[in-house]
Structure 1
Amino acid sequence: MTSSLSLTRRGALGTLAALGAASAFAQGTSTVRIGYQKSSTLIVVLKTQGTLERQLAPLGVKPSWHEFTSGLPLLEALNLDNLDFSADVADTVPVFAQAAGAQLTFVAQEAPSPAAQAILVREDSPIKTLADLKGKKIGFAKAAGAHYLLIAALDKAGLSLKDIEPAYLTPADGRAAFEKGAIDAWVVWDPFLAAAQRQSKVRVLADGTGIASYQRYYLASTKFATARADVLGVIYAELAKAGQWVKANPKDAAALLAPVWGIDAATVEQANARRSYAVRPASLDVIGEQQKIADAFFAEKLLPRKIDALASPLFKPGAGA
């Protein structure tokens, strides 16, 4: 199956419709359009605290916020010029956008968090090893980090996606399908992973340790990055500070995020403990796994063409701040 970043979920379509036909951001425009997911912890912290409203005000800029169900529709919105900046998406997602011809700039990266995503089975499941996944129906979000984790885990067991029955599901739909037994295994990331572990009888078949490093990226449209490096400089600096604060103050961070995410603080704290939240500049040294991911998706015929995953521009923090 090939992919061209087509939206398949009603929620994602609704989000794009709500965004409307927004014009391209140019020098002097007063709004930076920011897309994020529920799992975009650091951006959610900044949004909840009103930090970017304060820090961007001296530049005459204010943020507008747009929530998405997963990374794939988020980067499609960026590609369609309906967003200027994308909060963190899993390392798999940019390769789909690049294959669709998106003009993206890598702004920042979070250091690896391999245990923050996992393959779950029910506690009483007969599935004991990765090899036991053969012939099973497995739910996961298309193009998410969970998708690559599944590909890499199957490869480790001598299998491929052709050996399982894939079910492309958002985290919410995946949880519902998993709990009613409609799928045999579910591949998901935090905080959805932690919520399932604490609220349901589940077992981790494998997480990303030794399989997929799970790095998350912050991106901007190249048009926006060229026009407003000053704005990106402020956003980068505040993300780095937020990451340090979340790790240094786990209980306070959990208390802040719990009502926003609609889950209890203990679950948030468990999820946050598995994420690095170490924001650093994107560089060729740290994004090297991108090509491996792109090649794996191309081999599975999930990308329409082979791509150079390292060809997109890299933002240099401080250059325009």
Structure 2
Amino acid sequence: MNLLTNRAARTAVAAAAAGLFSLTACASTESEAAEESGGTVLVRIPDPRNSGILARGKKDGSLDKALAAVGAKVRWTGTTGPFAPAAQALNAGQLDIATGSITSGVTALTQKPGFKLFTATDPDRTGEGILVKKDSGITTVKDLKGRKVAVNKGGTGEYLLLKALAENGLAADDVKRVYLRPDQTASVYKTGQVDAWASWAAYSVAELGSGASRFVATGGDLGSDNYSFYAARTGFAEKHPKVLKALSTYLHTKSTDQRAAPEKYINVFTDRGPTAVTGEAKEIQAGILRGSGTVDPIGAEDIRRFESVARFYLERKVLARPVDITPHILDIEALG
């Protein structure tokens, strides 16, 4: 099976669209009109599933309590996933808040975005990287030459791979990029259809925890600028600045707590089934959270780092044109 054909590319695009429908299937069809109900502002956020700050906030009610102080509450809709379909949902008025990485963010910013970025979190130095099987014989990035590496197009995976190649004196076409959705990749990787997988903690932890894989390079090794962010639909941000400010404060407070007590933010709803993290993977996840950054307002240095990702993508032709980041940044500290 040739995973690099045009047909495969078209399939990936169709799958991304399907992801959008999955994300927004439970959302109100009255996109703008659904904003308020009985005077309460409804904040539409993808369901966080079983881990992280928002999952903890959903379970213990602390997020709704924080938002109630500014006349708002959460409406959970769809499920958290890659930022590309979430960006489409923001643009379509079907979501109010979403999270992603700046690598996927700059790609989405080329598509007439209807959202603004309002928080930044430092890059994950240990949970993202290029996975290889321990018995693969691949011990350095240079060993990837001539191999197939799975990446998500225009997102974290493609960025990490291109960064690794650049840092090790290899050209972009020295490896074969295999474009796959992250949730499609595990089976392709495990069955040997690709030799490596450039990924991040949401997917890498399970592979590392199995004992069969390791990182040939981490984000920290590569000097990654792959910040995470929260984004708000532009219309929502303009109408409800106090809600965004309250949400930003909540996220900062809880991300600080997550670093101190990561176990509370793992397996929030269940410690069984496909969404649970167990065994060695749980320990790996806890270690990643202990070393993670906090959710903070976006500052000048963050913007410079965002711009460095955009330039890197442009130089390597991932982007077809430059992206001006600054107009899409919301100064959360300046909000009323």
Provide the TM-score with structure 1 as the length reference.
Answer: 0.88
Counterpart contact for 2:131–2:197, Cα < 8 Å: yes
Q: Please, what is the CA RMSD of the aligned residues?
A: 2.8
The aligned counterpart of 2:3 is none
Task: Report 1:1-321 matches (<5 A).
Answer: 8-9=15-16, 10-19=18-27, 21-24=29-32, 30-35=41-46, 41-65=52-76, 66-87=78-99, 89-211=100-222, 212-256=224-268, 259=271, 261-264=275-278, 267-275=281-289, 276-317=292-333, 319-320=335-336
Gap change, CA 1:144 and 1:36, over 3 Å in 2: farther
Q: Within 2, Cα distance between the matches of 1:40 and 1:163?
A: 37
Gap change, CA 1:78 and 1:161, over 3 Å in 2: farther
Shift of 1:318: 6.8
Q: Within 2, Cα distance between the matches of 1:160 and 1:310?
A: 30
Q: Tell me which amino acid in the other structure corresponds to 2:295.
A: V
Shift of 1:106: 1.8
Gap change, CA 1:264 and 1:134, over 3 Å in 2: same
Sequence identity (%): 26
Per-residue deviation, residues 116-154 of structure 1 (Å, max 9, x unmatched): 201011111122221221221111222332221111111
Gap change, CA 1:23 and 1:45, over 3 Å in 2: same
Gap change, CA 1:136 and 1:274, over 3 Å in 2: same
3-state SS of paired residue (2:46): strand
Provide the TM-score with structure 2 as the length reference.
Answer: 0.84
Q: Within 1, Cα distance between the matches of 2:315 and 2:98?
A: 27
3-state SS of paired residue (2:302): coil
Q: Tell me which amino acid in the other structure corresponds to 2:300.
A: L
Shift of 1:221: 1.7
Per-residue deviation, residues 158-207 of structure 1 (Å, max 9, x unmatched): 23432222222233321111111111001111142121111141121000
Gap change, CA 1:272 and 1:102, over 3 Å in 2: farther
3-state SS of paired residue (1:119): strand
Per-residue deviation, residues 202-239 of structure 1 (Å, max 9, x unmatched): 12100011421332111112221111011111111111
Q: Within 1, Cα distance between the matches of 2:49 and 2:315?
A: 30
3-state SS of paired residue (2:326): coil
Counterpart contact for 2:118–2:231, Cα < 8 Å: yes
Deviates more, 1:170-179 or 1:253-262: 253-262
Q: Within 2, Cα distance between the matches of 1:283 and 1:22?
A: 34
Structure 1: any 5+ residue segments left out of the alignment? none
Shift of 1:278: 1.0
